[in-house]
Every structure is written in C-alpha cells, then in structure tokens.
C-alpha cells in the first residue's frame, strides 16, 4: 500500500489520512486489524461519501483520492474510472504539500 510507504512524509506535513469503504464497520474491523493500517478506515455502507464525491457509477462504487484542506476546500480530486484506478503517489504527495502551504 503506497500510503503506508509514505507514512513518515505524510506525518511530517501534519495532515490526516482517512480511508472510506462501502462496507459495514464490523466487516472492515478484521481487515483493519490484519493490515495494521496507519490511518483510520471508516465504513460507509449507505455510500454517503461516495455519493457526495460523485463516486458511484451504475450502482458501483469507484475509488477516489481527495485532498481537503483544513477549511474543507477540496484542493485535489481524482475520481477513479474503475474501482482500482488510483493516481501516482507522487501526485498525491504534491497535492498534500500544496494544500498545507498557507498563502500570505
């Protein structure tokens, strides 16, 4: 998992990572424990987050990667074309870095 490999870099930016899956929390609990994820994985069985970020197509949830600043503004959005479509980690790190820079 790319995020795990970049965990120290992510922590140095003082940002939070949150993963959302369309399963129930009780279904995800064994996975979270087994993977020892360094970030929260939240269950969204009603797919509210997927709907809010336009990640449902033909009743299927798609992957998405978003950088949201501390004011709630989406600074980066990658909506997957397929469930496994993800941007390069360098692109996400660049977006995280830019989102943490405060404009004077």
pLDDT digits (tens, 9 = 90+) for 29-65: 999 899 888 889 999 999 999 999 999 988 888 889 9
DSSP state of 102: P
In a domain, 36, yes or no: yes
Tell whether 43 is covered by a domain.
yes
66 has pLDDT over 80: yes
pTM: 0.80
Task: List the end-to-end C-alpha distance of the chain, in Å, as a whole number.
Answer: 35
List phi, psi (to 5°) of 58: 50, 45
- Give yes or no for residue 71 having a pLDDT over 90: no
Residue 103 lies in a domain: no
Number of structural domains (the chain) is 1
Residue 102 is assigned to a structural domain of this protein = no
pLDDT of amino acid 1: 56
Question: Which residues does residue 41 pair with via DSSP β-bridges, in sequence order?
Answer: 19
Give domain status of residue 13, yes or no: yes
Q: What is the CATH number of the domain that holds 14?
A: 3.40.30.10
Which pairing describes strands 64-68 and 74-79: parallel, antiparallel, or unpaired? Answer: antiparallel
Domain extent for 44: 2-97
Query: Is 104 among the domain residues?
Result: no
């Amino acid at each position: 998992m790319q995020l795990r490999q970049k965990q120290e870099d992510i922590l140095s930016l003082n940002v939070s990572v949150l993963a959302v899956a369309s399963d129930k929390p009780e279904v995800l609990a064994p996975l979270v424990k087994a993977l020892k994820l360094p970030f929260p994985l939240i269950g969204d069985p009603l797919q509210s987050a997927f709907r809010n970020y336009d990640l449902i197509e033909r009743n299927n949830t798609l992957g998405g990667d978003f950088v949201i600043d501390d004011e709630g503004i989406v600074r980066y959005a990658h909506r997957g074309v397929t469930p496994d479509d993800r941007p390069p980690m360098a692109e996400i790190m660049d977006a995280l870095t830019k989102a943490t820079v405060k404009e004077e």
